[in-house]
Structure 1
Amino acid sequence: MNDSVLTMGAVERHLRARRDAGRGLLMPYVTAGITPGWTGYLHAFAAAGADAIEVGLPFSDPTLDGPTIQQASQEALSRGASTRGILADLSALPDLGVPLIASTYYNLVLHDGPEAFCAALRRAGVTGLIVPDLPVHEADELMEAAAAYDVEPALLASPTTPDARLAEIGARSRGFVYAVSVMGITGERAALAGSAARLAARLKNVTDLPVLLGFGISTPDQAREARRHADGVVVGAAVMRRVLDGAAPDDLRAFVTTLRQALDQECDPPR
């Protein structure tokens, strides 16, 4: 048995098994604390067929996020949302049957220190982590702390990432690789960028980890197209716009179901 199998974590095992069965992977996002009953959205996502759920920890200066998620973060913070309170909410959840992936900026990790932060995530049942403003060459301390608590940090790759750095990201990511479809910030877009397909193909050449495309995937048609190139999609701004417009968990369950159906219709493996 090779070392990669021995060190494979729960998130990677879960996503690999579903990918290898021919399933397009779906990870919807919610800003934690956005409403009083915000964990109802997690139940809705799981019921709609999500393969993992990204839980955004609100931050006052989300530099890589566009207006929709910026607004969601501000609203959550104005309601008094905090990392401690959010993790307490997650600790009270029953097992949803899919991994919870926290996403945040490195300032929040540094606030308590990487070891304490990762320990708190694991106690809350969170098994994955995305830190979009942490470059791979500065990730050693977090990666070591995360490994000690069985938390899997997924690194980000962008269309302008050089080939050598892309290979390093593929080698050091845990769980999956987050492929940023365009240079820029999160937000809904009218079409899937051509750079998304090229980046997914480049990543497929350097890693066997699941590759999820995010940033701008907003509709079932875009999810279906992304599936032709990557193993799955991350959908954030399109979800949060609906939440900000007053969508209840049942409304989001219906929307995520349309994404699930689109991915299930595109059964060809990524090229």
Structure 2
Amino acid sequence: MAALTTAPTVGLSETFSRLKLRGKVAFIPYITAGDPDLSTTAEALKILDSCGSDIIELGVPYSDPLADGPVIQAAASRSLARGTNFDKIIAMLKEVVPQLSCPIALFSYYNPILKRGVEKFMTTLKDTGIRGLVVPDVPLEETEILRKEASDNNIELVLLTTPTTPTARMKTIVEASEGFVYLVSSVGVTGARASVSEKVQSLLTEVKEATSKPVAVGFGISNPSMSNRWLDGEQMVSLLVVPL
């Protein structure tokens, strides 16, 4: 029996626009696909959607996740050990995405994209209903082909800026980023932290002065109290890792 479907999901930008009109901020949880297995991931996506997630960031497991800390590295290792691969993730998403009311942004390292071919990768995402993409290990200068193919397939490519990014370069990144700007809260890998550097507030101010696009703070945000200090009722969001 075919799965019941909801109305087609909107993109990342439209999601933020709707939230802004309501005076709301966005909740964007992150989970790793295939941990502990893809059937659990499918159920988790539906639960996160029903619990009010505005966007869900779904990580594609990779054997050399340079940006990830021990929690997500372990999740990726467990997933890969069970035989999870991109084709299996896509097969699962084709069943689940039509049942979701919020968009999914895929988090993938560049090597799996190159292995498949950028054009084919993007058309696959489009056909699956994926609305956003984050590729953490590609420098701005090498994103041109990604941005072109993403744009051609109605996928918003989210770019990252970090505490060590020079101001001029940050401005170029935020101009090119689509959907939202991903502000990395600290130098280093992902993972829960007891606190986040006081520098985040000044970084956030600097980024928001450079763009009217929504800004997401990620890497190390592990509880609401860490994000509430930055919420201003406009476009501020927080990305949280959801352990499963």
Output the TM-score relative to the length of structure 2.
0.91
Residue of structure 1 equivalent to 2:34: 33
Alignment of 1:171-210 (within 5 A): 171-210=175-214
For the residue of structure 2 that corresponds to 1:235, the secondary structure is strand
For the residue of structure 2 that corresponds to 1:88, the secondary structure is helix
Counterpart pick for 2:86 among 83, 100, 103: 83
Are 1:163 and 2:167 matched, yes or no? yes
| Unpaired segments ≥5 residues, structure 1 | 1-8, 244-271
Q: Distance in 1 between matches of 2:181 and 2:99?
A: 24
Counterpart pick for 1:53 among 33, 53, 56: 56
The number of aligned residues is 231
Measured against aligned partners, the alpha-carbon deviations of 1:24-77 in whole angstroms (never above 9, x if no partner) come to: 111000100112321111112112211100000000000010000000000000
Residue of structure 2 equivalent to 1:259: none
1:14 deviates by 1.4
Q: Distance in 2 between matches of 1:177 and 1:60?
A: 26
1:11 deviates by 1.6
For the residue of structure 2 that corresponds to 1:132, the secondary structure is coil
Once the two structures are overlaid, the 10-residue window that deviates more, 89-98 or 54-63, is 89-98
Quick one: which amino acid aligns to residue 233 of structure 1? S
Tell me, yes or no, if the aligned pair for 2:156 and 2:178 is still in contact at 8 Å.
yes
Residue of structure 2 equivalent to 1:235: 240
1:228 deviates by 4.4
Q: Distance in 2 between matches of 1:215 and 1:120?
A: 28
Quick one: which amino acid aligns to residue 105 of structure 2? I
1:195 deviates by 2.2
For the residue of structure 2 that corresponds to 1:205, the secondary structure is helix
RMSD: 1.4
Q: Distance in 2 between matches of 1:142 and 1:132?
A: 12
Q: Distance in 2 between matches of 1:174 and 1:46?
A: 22
| Unpaired segments ≥5 residues, structure 2 | 1-9
Output the TM-score relative to the length of structure 1.
0.82
For the residue of structure 2 that corresponds to 1:213, the secondary structure is strand
Counterpart pick for 2:73 among 60, 70, 73: 70
Tell me, yes or no, if the aligned pair for 2:46 and 2:99 is still in contact at 8 Å.
no
Residue of structure 2 equivalent to 1:133: 137
Identity value in percent:
36
Residue of structure 1 equivalent to 2:111: 107
Q: Distance in 1 between matches of 2:184 and 2:150?
A: 22
Residue of structure 1 equivalent to 2:14: 13
For the residue of structure 2 that corresponds to 1:29, the secondary structure is strand
Measured against aligned partners, the alpha-carbon deviations of 1:130-189 in whole angstroms (never above 9, x if no partner) come to: 000011111001100111111110000001111111111111001001000011110100
Residue of structure 2 equivalent to 1:42: 45
Q: Distance in 2 between matches of 1:50 and 1:30?
A: 12
Residue of structure 2 equivalent to 1:4: none
1:192 deviates by 2.5
For the residue of structure 1 that corresponds to 2:157, the secondary structure is strand
Residue of structure 1 equivalent to 2:7: none
